[in-house]
């Protein structure tokens, strides 16, 4: 963290991440986030340290200790009681600590609200029932009922290894096979808190839901497995962005025009992940993957085989890929028979803050024995970033890739800074100047005191100064001799004495006044009805450390239309094939008064006939609009 506290969050992970779909990486990072600055244990040390970033607080603390030592020791004298300085200083710091605590409590509440927001995970029902802690099913999905499916048990002998089996990634995994090589698995949709999502979990999102983590899209309710997201909380853009699922081979899905129900998608994913095969092996570890040949090697192998035997060529002319690729695999698998059941895995780039790029690889289990696993490259079009909102999509399912502090949104955020207002900076500079002037005056006064006491020592008997300790008081000879001081204070003692005397050069009341004024400014801003948004029930939130800077704003820079203004597109006039639609546009005089301009603005499109624009309405609406599935 830099000195200002505004440091980008970084990830400790620098290598590619390998995830098996359906396997929760509980030992990894959870999905909780923390934007607060303090905890119960470190609040006082850190918050008090922040208070002494103000030079005035350091100054008065030093003066208080000088007064304390001068009052209760004989090292030097103090011109005032230490409590006249330390008392008001303690009050000022206490008020600031209360403001810091209240602001951080609000951060903790927001973090708790975010981390405990309900989310839905696709889990094996057996895991939920056998868990030691209470785990609940989400009643909004299938009324909390489980989904029962049948899956093949992939146990094959060497003689059976050449026989193709039904694909595990078809639309409906329920297979009516009348043999003993099937098993029944129940799936459940579990309701969990957002913080309990881990990398590898299968997450279900509904329309208008915020994406809880960085998620690789696997299935949606839309055609082709696409989804729309709104990323206004990430990049400020309100237009919808299209994201797509990886192009998973799915013959039956194509027959259904690439649409599927939530139940079909859950069944399909179960056949690919640990949800259906808890003892499955990472598909990336398939030994036949090492025998995969490139397209060039396949072509060369085919040409080499074709040139040696015309009979061979005629026999396999219709399946060049099968000869050059599948044949090579079949020669290998006769020695290394694979009896494992493979499940999908994800090879992902390490966590990084780049929100515009993503690279990864999804490895699916082979469609049949003797085939290598299916590898699908992933890019930025396949990932949903945390903070985005699912739109125009009834539901979407994906696998959590990055969670919590590893998400791109969090890695792009700054650690909560300790902001220092311009007023505090100005007061610090002023204190430096005043302190410099005070030091000069105190030095001159201390030098003058030392010189005067040295030159006129004998004349200052009324100060109790006398080198003859037996001499009685002048003019009072009947009284016994007093305890005369035979020496005077040196320069340092005189300096510290005058320092306590002139300590009010820096007004402590200034800091007290600033704290009180800041408190009431925050109160008035938070309760101002003119800056209250009733639709979202959102009042203005004043920041205690920078609220005093509002009066020092001179310029406002806005990045684009829509930040401080409204982007409203109004039809004025158009011409189609020589036919004009809309009222004529009047030329505005540069000397027109503001009242006249406002009057024209209020009139709006009143002169435009809706009937006149009707011929183009359906054409334009059908061209630029996207049908919304949201209610």
pLDDT higher than threshold 80 for residue 165 = no
Mean pLDDT for 424-433 is: 86
**Comparing 349 with 171, which gets the higher pLDDT?**
349
Alpha-carbon Rg of the chain, whole angstroms? 39
Mean pLDDT for 601-605 is: 50
Q: How confident is the model at residue 254 (pLDDT cuts 50, 70, 90)?
A: very low
* Domains, the chain, with CATH or none: 37-114+420-518 (no CATH), 118-286+338-411 (2.70.150.10), 574-624 (no CATH)
**Comparing 238 with 257, which gets the higher pLDDT?**
238
Q: Specify the pLDDT at position 295.
A: 46
Q: Specify the pLDDT at position 13.
A: 61
Q: Specify the pLDDT at position 338.
A: 53
Q: How far apart are CA 105 and CA 539, in angstroms?
A: 17
Q: Specify the pLDDT at position 359.
A: 93
Mean pLDDT for 131-143 is: 87
Q: pLDDT tens digits for 492-512?
A: 999 999 999 988 888 888 877
pLDDT higher than threshold 90 for residue 108 = yes
**Comparing 121 with 576, which gets the higher pLDDT?**
121
Q: Specify the pLDDT at position 631.
A: 52
Q: pLDDT tens digits for 184-231?
A: 889 999 999 999 999 999 999 999 999 999 999 999 999 888 999 998
Torsion of CA 265, 271, 274, 279, to 10 degrees: 170
pLDDT higher than threshold 80 for residue 177 = no
Q: Specify the pLDDT at position 344.
A: 92
Q: Specify the pLDDT at position 477.
A: 77
Which two structure tokens, joined as six digits, stand for 60? 């008065």
345-348 and 17-20 beta bridge pairing? antiparallel
Averaged pLDDT score across all residues of the chain: 77
Q: pLDDT tens digits for 580-599?
A: 877 776 666 555 555 555 55
Residue 133 burial (C-beta neighbours within 10 Å; 0-12, 13-18, 19+): exposed
Biggest CA–CA distance in the chain, Å, is 147
Residue 88 burial (C-beta neighbours within 10 Å; 0-12, 13-18, 19+): middle
- Residue 386 CA to chain centroid, in angstroms? 8
Q: Specify the pLDDT at position 609.
A: 53
pLDDT higher than threshold 50 for residue 406 = yes
Q: Specify the pLDDT at position 339.
A: 61
**Comparing 442 with 477, which gets the higher pLDDT?**
442
Mean pLDDT for 132-152 is: 87
Mean pLDDT for 54-68 is: 90
Q: Specify the pLDDT at position 255.
A: 40
Mean pLDDT for 68-87 is: 89
pLDDT higher than threshold 50 for residue 320 = no
Q: Specify the pLDDT at position 154.
A: 56
Q: Specify the pLDDT at position 28.
A: 79
Neighbouring residues of 231: CB distance < 8 A, sequence distance ≥ 6: 237, 241, 385, 387, 388
pLDDT higher than threshold 90 for residue 239 = no
Q: Specify the pLDDT at position 328.
A: 36
Torsion of CA 607, 608, 610, 611, to 10 degrees: 90
**Comparing 81 with 174, which gets the higher pLDDT?**
81
Mean pLDDT for 172-180 is: 41
**Which helix or strand (DSSP H or E) is residue 396 part of?**
strand 395-402
Q: Specify the pLDDT at position 569.
A: 74
Angle at 497 between CA 494 and CA 498, to 5 degrees: 90
Q: Specify the pLDDT at position 6.
A: 47
């Amino acid at each position: 963290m830099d000195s200002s506290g505004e440091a980008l969050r970084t990830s400790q992970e620098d290598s590619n991440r390998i995830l098996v779909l359906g396997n929760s990486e509980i030992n990894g990072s959870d999905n909780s986030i923390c934007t607060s600055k303090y905890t119960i244990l470190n609040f006082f040390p850190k918050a008090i340290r922040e208070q002494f970033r103000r030079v005035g607080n350091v100054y008065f603390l030093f003066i208080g200790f000088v007064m304390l030592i001068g009052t209760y020791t004989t090292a030097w004298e103090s011109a005032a009681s230490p409590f006249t300085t330390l008392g008001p200083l303690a009050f000022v710091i206490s008020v600031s600590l209360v403001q810091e605590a209240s602001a951080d409590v609000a951060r903790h509440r927001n973090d708790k609200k975010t981390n405990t927001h309900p989310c839905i995970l696709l889990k094996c029902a057996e895991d939920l029932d056998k868990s030691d802690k209470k785990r609940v099913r989400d009643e909004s999905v299938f009324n909390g009922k489980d989904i029962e499916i049948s899956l093949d048990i992939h146990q094959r002998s060497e003689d059976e290894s050449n026989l193709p089996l039904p694909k595990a990634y078809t639309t409906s995994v329920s297979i009516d096979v009348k043999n003993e090589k099937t098993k029944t698995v129940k799936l459940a949709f579990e309701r969990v808190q957002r913080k309990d999502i881990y990398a590898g979990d299968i997450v279900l999102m509904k329309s208008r839901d915020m994406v809880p983590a960085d998620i690789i899209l696997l299935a949606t309710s839309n055609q082709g497995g696409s989804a729309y997201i709104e990323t206004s909380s990430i990049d400020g853009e309100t237009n919808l962005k299209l994201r797509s699922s990886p192009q998973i081979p799915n013959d039956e899905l194509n027959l259904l025009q690439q649409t599927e129900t939530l139940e079909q998608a859950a069944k399909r994913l179960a056949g690919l992940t640990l949800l259906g095969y808890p003892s499955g092996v990472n598909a990336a570890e398939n030994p036949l993957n090492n025998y995969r040949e490139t397209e060039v090697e396949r072509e060369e192998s085919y040409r080499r085989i074709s040139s040696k035997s015309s009979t061979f060529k005629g026999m396999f002319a219709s399946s060049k890929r099968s000869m050059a690729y599948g044949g090579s695999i079949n020669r290998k698998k006769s020695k290394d028979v694979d009896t494992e059941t493979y499940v999908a895995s994800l090879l992902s780039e390490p966590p990084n803050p780049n929100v515009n790029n993503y690279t990864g690889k999804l490895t699916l289990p082979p469609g049949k024995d003797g085939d290598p696993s299916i590898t699908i490259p992933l890019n930025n079009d396949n990932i949903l970033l945390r903070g985005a909102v699912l739109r125009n999509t009834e539901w979407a399912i994906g696998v959590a890739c990055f969670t919590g502090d590893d998400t791109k949104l969090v890695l792009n955020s700054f650690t909560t800074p300790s902001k220092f207002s311009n007023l505090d900076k100005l007061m610090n500079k002023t204190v430096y100047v005043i302190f410099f002037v005070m030091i000069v005056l105190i030095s001159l006064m201390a030098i003058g005191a030392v010189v005067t006491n040295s030159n006129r020592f004998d004349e200052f008997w009324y100060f109790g100064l006398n080198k003859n300790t037996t001499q009685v008081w002048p003019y009072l000879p009947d009284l016994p001799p007093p305890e005369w001081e035979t020496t005077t204070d040196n320069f340092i003692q005189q300096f510290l004495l005058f320092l306590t005397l002139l300590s009010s050069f820096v007004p402590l009341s200034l800091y007290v006044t600033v704290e009180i004024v800041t408190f009431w400014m925050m109160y008035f801003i938070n309760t101002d009805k003119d800056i209250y948004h009733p639709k979202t029930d959102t009042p203005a939130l004043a920041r205690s450390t920078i609220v005093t800077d509002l009066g020092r704003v001179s310029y406002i820079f806005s990045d684009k239309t829509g930040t401080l203004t409204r982007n409203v597109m109004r039809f004025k006039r158009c011409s189609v094939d020589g036919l004009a639609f809309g009222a004529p546009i009047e030329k505005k005089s540069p000397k027109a008064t503001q009242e006249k301009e406002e009057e024209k603005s209020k009139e709006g499109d009143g002169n435009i006939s809706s009937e006149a624009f009707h011929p183009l309405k359906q054409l334009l609406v059908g061209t630029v609009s996207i049908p919304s599935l949201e209610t």
